[in-house]
Amino acid sequence: MSAGSLFWLILYGVATLTFFSVASVITFFGIQDLRSLLSKANRGDLKKKNDDSSNSDRADSRREMQ
């Protein structure tokens, strides 16, 4: 096997190992995040925080303040 092939295959090995490792960690913590998001949504916390949503409105109001 040539040095060039070996270089790319080692890089492939590192990238693949990193992908599956990070994916496992993300899966574990992602479940907790998902539960947290859905419990907030169930309690209606999101609605209270986001009723001031439209960015265009914010831009308009800011311009009027100048």
Partner 1 sequence: MNFHLIDWLILIVYLTGTVYVGLRARKYVENMEGYYVAGRKVKVALGSATLIATEIGVVTFMYFAQLGFLTGFSCFILGVIGFFGYMVIGKTGFIVSGLRRLKVITIPEFYELRYNKSVRWLGGVLLFLGGVLNMGIFLRFDGIFLSEAIGLGEQAKAIVMVIMLIIVISYTVLGGMFSVVITDFIQFVILTFGMFISTVFVLAKVNFHTIASTVVQQYGTSGLNPITNPQFGWTFLIWMLIGSIAISALNQPAVSKSFASESPEVGRKVFLYAGLTLGGRYMIPMLWGVAALAVFGSHINSLVAMPRLLGSAVPSGLLGLMVAGMLAASMSTYSAYLLAWSTVATRDVVAPLLKSRLSDDQNVTMTRIIAALIGIFMLVFGLFYKIPSTAFQYLAITGAMYAAGAFACVVAGLYWKRANVIGAYSGLALGAAAPVSFLLLSLFKESLPKSLLFLVDVNVSGLLSFVLAGAGMVIGSLATQRSHPPVIISEPSHGEKLEGGLHVSR
Helix residue spans in 1-66 (DSSP H)? 3-43, 45-49, 55-65
Cα–Cα distance for residue pair 46/38, rounded to 1 Å: 10
# binding residues, partner 1 (CB under 8 A): 52
Cα–Cα dist 48/45, whole Å: 6
Task: Kindly state the smallest distance separating residue 35's Cβ from partner 1, in Å.
Answer: 10
43 touches partner 1 by CB under 8 A: no
Q: How far is the CB of 10 from partner 1 (least distance, A)?
A: 10
Q: Is 36 in the site for partner 1 (CB under 8 A)?
A: yes
Binding flag, residue 38, partner 1 (CB under 8 A): yes
